[in-house]
Structure formats: C-alpha cells, structure tokens
C-alpha cells in the first residue's frame, strides 16, 4: 500500500494541494532538499495533465495520486481515467482547441522527462499512469 494516497476532483485549484502533500511526504521519506523542487514541479505537471485530460474527456472520476516510500527510493504515481488515443491514431483535421490541449499535454510531459530520470508513462483505453521515482538518502546512522 502507498504511504499516502490522495484523490481529488479534477479541478485546477486542487493541483497545488497535491504538490504540497507530495513535497511533505517526500521530505519525510528523506528526499534531498534539492530534489523537493523537482518533486513539487513534476507532481504539479502530472496532476495538471490529468486534470486537463479528465476535463477534456468529461471524466467525473477523481485524479489519483499515490506517494510510495520504499527502501532507498520514493515514488509517486499519478493516475487518470481519461481514455487515451492510441499512438498514431490521431484523426486528421482536429479542432484548434484540441491541438492546443495536445501541445500543453506534451509540454507537461517534456518538463517531467527533463526533470525526472526515472519516469514511466503508461496509457490505455481506460486511463493512464505516470510513475516517477527518486532515490532517497539513507539515514546517517546506517553508517557503521
């Protein structure tokens, strides 16, 4: 089970809450101070993307965030329930707004991939999941 799980209505105003919670849990898990900025930004990007996907697809389900503390690493999973288009299956002549959404979606993913070394993006017809992992520093007392 995740250390902390968060579900929030797909509204932009709740993304900040997800960022704050993620940073707090990451800090407790022993993530380096410099990594906390990355965590904050990456979670914000993943949640903004999920909110956008839910809103554009009319999905009323909440966005899910799982913060998982493991030995020597800290992972965050952001899940959406929006139906994702199959790669290469884009319909020609998409509306202007649709193109903007796709561009913003890609920008968010570009930021995540630029920030996080260990990131997995999986998508399917019933939703998508972004899993990001950071190493954590073991407590100093572990040194013999």
Partner 1 sequence: MDLSLSTETIGDRTVVRVGGEIDVYTAPKLREQLVELVNDGSFHLVVDMESVDFLDSTGLGVLVGGLKRVRAHEGSLRLVCNQERILKIFRITGLTKVFPIHTSVEEAVQATD
**CA distances in angstroms from 51 to 2, 12, 97, listed in the order given:** 21, 7, 16
Q: Tokens 């319909």 appear where? A: 91
Contact pick of 31, 44, 66, 134 for partner 1 (by CB under 8 A): 44
* Dist CA 72 CA 107 (whole Å): 30
Interface segment toward partner 1; rule CB under 8 A; list 62-70, 87-95, 106-114, 127-135: 106-114
CB of 122 to partner 1, least distance (A): 20
Does 104 bind partner 1 (CB under 8 A)? Our answer is yes
H/E run at residue 6: strand 4-8
Give, in degrees to the nearest 5, the angle at Cα 120 between 118 and 126.
160
Contact pick of 6, 48, 128, 136 for partner 1 (by CB under 8 A): 48
Nearer to partner 1, 94 or 126 (CB): 94
| CB-based burial label for 115 (10 Å; 0-12, 13-18, 19+) | middle
Does 80 bind partner 1 (CB under 8 A)? Our answer is no
Does 45 bind partner 1 (CB under 8 A)? Our answer is yes
Note the residues at the interface with partner 1 (CB under 8 A). Answer: 12-13, 15-16, 19, 37, 40-41, 44-45, 47-48, 51-52, 103-104, 107-108, 110-111, 114-115
């Amino acid at each position: 089970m995740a250390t902390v799980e968060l579900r929030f209505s797909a509204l932009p105003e709740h993304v900040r809450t997800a960022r704050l919670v993620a940073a707090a849990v990451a800090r407790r898990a022993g993530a380096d101070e410099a990594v906390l900025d990355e965590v904050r930004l990456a979670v914000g990007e993943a949640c903004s993307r999920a909110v956008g996907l839910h809103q554009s697809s009319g999905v009323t389900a909440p966005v899910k965030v799982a913060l998982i503390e493991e030995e020597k690493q800290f992972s965050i999973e952001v899940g959406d329930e929006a139906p994702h288009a199959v790669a290469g299956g884009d319909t020609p002549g998409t509306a202007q707004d649709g193109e903007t959404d796709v561009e913003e979606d890609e920008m968010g993913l570009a930021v995540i991939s630029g920030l996080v070394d260990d990131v997995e993006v999986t998508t399917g017809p019933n939703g998508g999941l972004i899993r990001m992992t950071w190493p954590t520093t073991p407590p100093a007392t572990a040194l013999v």
